[in-house]
Amino acid sequence: MRNRPIVPWLAVVVLLAAGGCNKNSTPATSDGTNPNSAPGTSSAAAQSAPAPAPPVVVDAGTTLVVTIDQAISTKTNNTGDRFEASLAVPVRVDGNEVITSGTKVRGTITQAGSAGHIKGGAALALTLDSLQVGGQTYPIETSEYSIVGKARGKRTAVGAGGGAALGAIVGALAGGGKGAAIGAVAGGGAGTAGAAYTGNRDISIAPETRLHFKLRKPLSISQ
């Protein structure tokens, strides 16, 4: 009895096995995605992500009303010293509050000269340069608030509006240069000024004094 050839049978088995493997495997497309997955899944997920809100813009010329957090004086401070303040009045854009009261603000003393070093009297000038909203610090540029001393205990406070917008405050010192002349802010936005002359004609601003500044450039705040 002759033996039957087994090579054809082996070929059939190999072909059947290969066909079964091809049915179970899933070919990948050229971009690596699975063609059997739901169409448009990745694009739909991308489209469902909300677009970031545009920033809110606070226009130039907006008044920032702040209260000073610490005492500032031509006797103890120097030009270039930093100071901190808090926003006293919230800032609104189109009726919506975008910067809340209590927001921390930082500024720089742009001039601090005592009466003994400046001809004609002491001079103190402040400006704001940054504020913090939502944990993010924003640089700002504002007008300058300044108090310029004149002869024998006179002073002029210049605020956010420029010129003598806060009015001239004049007071003679009692007792031959002792005591202090304390005035109220007039115009340029209401508020009480805590600026005063000390006995040696230096200028000081008490904590909680309310001052007014104006933005010189627009401020964009992320939402």
- Containing H/E element for 84? strand 82-87
Domain assignment of residue 16, yes or no: no
User: Which range marks the domain in which residue 145 is found?
Assistant: 63-217
Which pLDDT band holds residue 121 (cuts at 50, 70, 90)? confident
Distance CA 126, CA 78 (A): 11
Torsion angles phi and psi, residue 155, rounded to 5: -150, 155
**Averaged pLDDT score across all residues of the chain:** 72
Cα 100 from chain centroid (whole Å) = 12
Please give the torsion angle defined by the CA atoms of residues 175, 180, 181 and 185, in that order, rounded to the nearest 10 degrees.
180
Structural domains in the chain (count): 1
pTM here? 0.61
The answer to whether 156 and 183 are in contact (CB under 8 A) is: no
pLDDT tens, 146-188?
998 764 545 555 555 444 434 333 332 322 332 333 333 333 3
